């Protein structure tokens, strides 16, 4: 819907405020539409309400989505597309605007108290957050933003409003879907509320383009949410192939205090039922029960912090390790990123991704790029991120016995592991953030074109009606 019936404040070049009447705004936006068909946007408003891309992945709500937003923003900026990321301010000490890199701004919007709020509390802050976003846009000249890209359903709700008020197209990336998550709940996890399901359905209907990570997610959007197939673009996430690459394993192990002959099994991510780190711990206990001689060499690394429903019992994994009698084997490390995280991957014999649901699984790609095979659950986008039998192994259950058997076949068969390690590097090189960003730019151009055509048809109908 176009902007109608409101006076538009702009900032003229001489610094004086002036008012433009709705008719003038309509003519300007119509002109922009006509010129905007199939063009590359100059400036994109990215909405990430519930988590900031500046936060360290691995705790709270920070994870792969944070990496995705920042990595694509940096590459969009390098292509001449300015990116402004709007996120909720969680501290009074945060500056209103942070220039993360040339062409990449992060805007902290005041919406609710300066504290971490659970996702179930954030819907109450949608109006405040939307007001903050629109206030920034209202202080700029018409057409300041060419497009809105929202991430996760909460931001999608704000993006829906921003699309209507700004008169620009909306691109939305869900990252996770409530209907999919509720169909594969982990034990002890809570189902996503009805309000999220409805909210996702609304955003799917409102968006000009939806970005799916895989063909599997494409099908979910179409079959479960009624998305128009022509409105969904499949854009696989990437991996930073410069940071995550094979390097000296001995040096990486020394940095973590690991011996050269250690058998290292690793989990990286948020500690919550959805991510199922307990499956790896139970599998490790099974490995030791079957082969007690491994105890002197086996090390299980858990890298991350409690998140989501995992915050209700933040010490649950430590207690489970003790109950299973492997407390001496399991080590808990704080979240890390960049080269420090790459060293964790390199030091590992295998990285486990036992999630109950993953839209893609960036951890799997990062580990493989470092030359480490991955054992992953065959759910969501993981069968795309992991090439079964070539870069790692997929497990079609969450039974610790199955996981122990597959992990054993990887880490204790040196020839098999070496072959998978080589395949892991080759598979990861098929993905890059540059490729992801190129596909996003193409999707943006499609969204701008579709929005312009839809606006033209709407204007014709209104002219006939008038």
Q: Specify whether 176 is located in the same domain as 217.
A: yes
Q: How far is CA 211 from CA 44, 74, 434, in A?
A: 15, 18, 16
- Kindly state whether residue 13 falls inside one of the protein's structural domains: no
- Kindly state whether residue 15 falls inside one of the protein's structural domains: no
**CATH code for position 165:** 3.40.50.2000
- The response to whether 213 counts as a known ligand-binding position is no
- The response to whether 68 counts as a known ligand-binding position is no
Q: Specify whether 286 is located in the same domain as 415.
A: yes
Q: Specify whether 183 is located in the same domain as 299.
A: no
Number of domains in the chain: 2
Least confident of 114-128, 150-164, 222-236: 114-128
Q: Specify whether 257 is located in the same domain as 196.
A: no
464/443 Cα distance (integer angstroms): 32
Q: With CA atoms as reference, report the closest residue to 85 among 131, 165, 162, 148.
A: 148
Contact 348, 249 (CB under 8 A): no
Residue 296 has pLDDT above 60, yes or no: yes
pLDDT of residue 24: 46
- The response to whether 275 counts as a known ligand-binding position is yes
pLDDT digits over 372-396, tens only?
Answer: 999 999 999 999 999 999 999 999 9
pLDDT of residue 429: 96
pLDDT digits over 259-292, tens only?
Answer: 999 999 999 998 989 899 999 999 999 999 999 9
pTM of the full predicted structure? 0.86
User: Using 50, 70 and 90 to split pLDDT, how confident is the model at 465?
Assistant: low
- Kindly state whether residue 20 falls inside one of the protein's structural domains: no
pLDDT of residue 457: 55
- The response to whether 336 counts as a known ligand-binding position is yes
- The response to whether 33 counts as a known ligand-binding position is no
Q: Specify whether 231 is located in the same domain as 254.
A: no
pLDDT digits over 31-76, tens only?
Answer: 444 444 468 999 999 999 988 888 876 565 667 899 999 999 999 9
Q: Specify whether 233 is located in the same domain as 325.
A: no
pLDDT of residue 34: 45
Q: With CA atoms as reference, report the closest residue to 136 among 2, 40, 9, 51.
A: 9
Q: Can you give the residue range of the structural domain that contains 265?
A: 249-429
Nearest-10 crossing angle of helices 215-225, 194-206: 100
- The mean pLDDT of 317-342, rounded to a whole number, is 95
pLDDT digits over 201-254, tens only?
Answer: 999 999 999 999 999 999 999 999 999 999 999 999 999 999 999 999 999 999
Q: Specify whether 410 is located in the same domain as 441.
A: no
Q: Specify whether 439 is located in the same domain as 424.
A: no
- The response to whether 414 counts as a known ligand-binding position is no
- The response to whether 159 counts as a known ligand-binding position is no
- The response to whether 181 counts as a known ligand-binding position is no
- The response to whether 356 counts as a known ligand-binding position is no
- The response to whether 331 counts as a known ligand-binding position is no
Q: Specify whether 75 is located in the same domain as 221.
A: yes
Q: Strand pairing partners for 212? A: 234
Return the higher-pLDDT residue of 238 and 13. Answer: 238
pLDDT digits over 79-120, tens only?
Answer: 999 999 999 998 888 999 999 999 999 999 999 887 777 778
Q: Specify whether 224 is located in the same domain as 265.
A: no
- The response to whether 179 counts as a known ligand-binding position is no
452/449 Cα distance (integer angstroms): 5
- The response to whether 90 counts as a known ligand-binding position is no
- Kindly state whether residue 169 falls inside one of the protein's structural domains: yes
- The response to whether 345 counts as a known ligand-binding position is yes
401/406 Cα distance (integer angstroms): 9
- The response to whether 119 counts as a known ligand-binding position is yes
Q: Specify whether 279 is located in the same domain as 354.
A: yes
């Amino acid at each position: 819907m176009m902007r109608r019936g409101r006076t538009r404040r702009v900032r003229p070049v001489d610094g004086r405020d002036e008012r433009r009447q709705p008719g003038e705004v309509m003519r300007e936006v119509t002109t922009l539409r006509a010129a905007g068909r199939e063009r590359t946007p100059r400036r994109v408003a990215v909405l990430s309400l519930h988590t900031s891309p500046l936060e360290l992945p691995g705790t709270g709500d920070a994870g792969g989505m944070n990496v995705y937003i920042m990595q694509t923003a940096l590459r969009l900026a390098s292509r001449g597309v300015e990116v402004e990321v709007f996120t909720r301010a969680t501290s009074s000490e945060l500056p209103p605007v942070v220039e993360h890199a040339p062409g990449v701004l992060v805007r902290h919007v005041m919406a609710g108290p300066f504290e971490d709020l659970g996702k179930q509390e954030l819907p109450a802050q949608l109006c405040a957050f939307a007001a903050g976003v629109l206030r920034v846009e209202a202080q700029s000249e018409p057409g300041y933003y060419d497009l809105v890209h929202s991430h996760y359903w909460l931001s999608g709700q704000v993006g829906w409003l921003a699309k209507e008020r700004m008169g620009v197209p909306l691109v939305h990336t869900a990252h996770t879907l409530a209907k999919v998550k509720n169909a594969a709940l982990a034990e002890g996890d809570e189902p996503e509320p009805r309000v999220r399901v409805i909210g996702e359905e609304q955003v799917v209907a409102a968006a000009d383009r939806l970005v799916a990570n895989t063909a599997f997610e494409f099908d979910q959007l179409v079959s479960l949410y009624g998305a128009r197939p022509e409105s969904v673009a499949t854009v696989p996430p990437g991996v930073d192939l410069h940071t995550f690459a094979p390097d000296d394993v001995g040096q990486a192990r020394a940095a973590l205090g690991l011996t050269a002959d250690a058998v290292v099994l690793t989990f990286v991510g948020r500690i919550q039922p959805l991510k199922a780190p307990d499956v790896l711990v139970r599998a490790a206990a099974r490995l030791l029960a079957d082969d007690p001689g491994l105890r002197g060499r086996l090390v299980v690394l858990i890298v991350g912090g409690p998140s989501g429903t995992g915050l209700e019992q933040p010490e649950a994994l430590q207690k489970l390790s003790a109950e299973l009698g492997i407390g001496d084997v399991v080590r808990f490390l704080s979240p890390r990123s960049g080269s420090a995280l790459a060293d964790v991957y390199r030091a590992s014999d295998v990285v486990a991704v036992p999630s109950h649901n993953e839209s893609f699984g960036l951890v799997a790609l990062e580990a493989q790029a470092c030359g480490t095979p991955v054992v992953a659950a065959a759910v969501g986008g993981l069968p795309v991120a992991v090439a079964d039998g070539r870069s790692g192994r997929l497990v079609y259950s969450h039974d610790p016995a199955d996981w122990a058997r597959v992990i054993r076949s990887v880490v204790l068969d040196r020839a098999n592991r070496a072959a998978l390690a080589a395949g892991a590097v080759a598979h990861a090189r098929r993905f890059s953030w540059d490729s992801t960003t190129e596909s996003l730019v193409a999707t943006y151009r499609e969204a701008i074109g579709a929005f312009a055509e839809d606006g033209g048809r709407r204007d014709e109908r209104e002219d006939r009606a008038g």
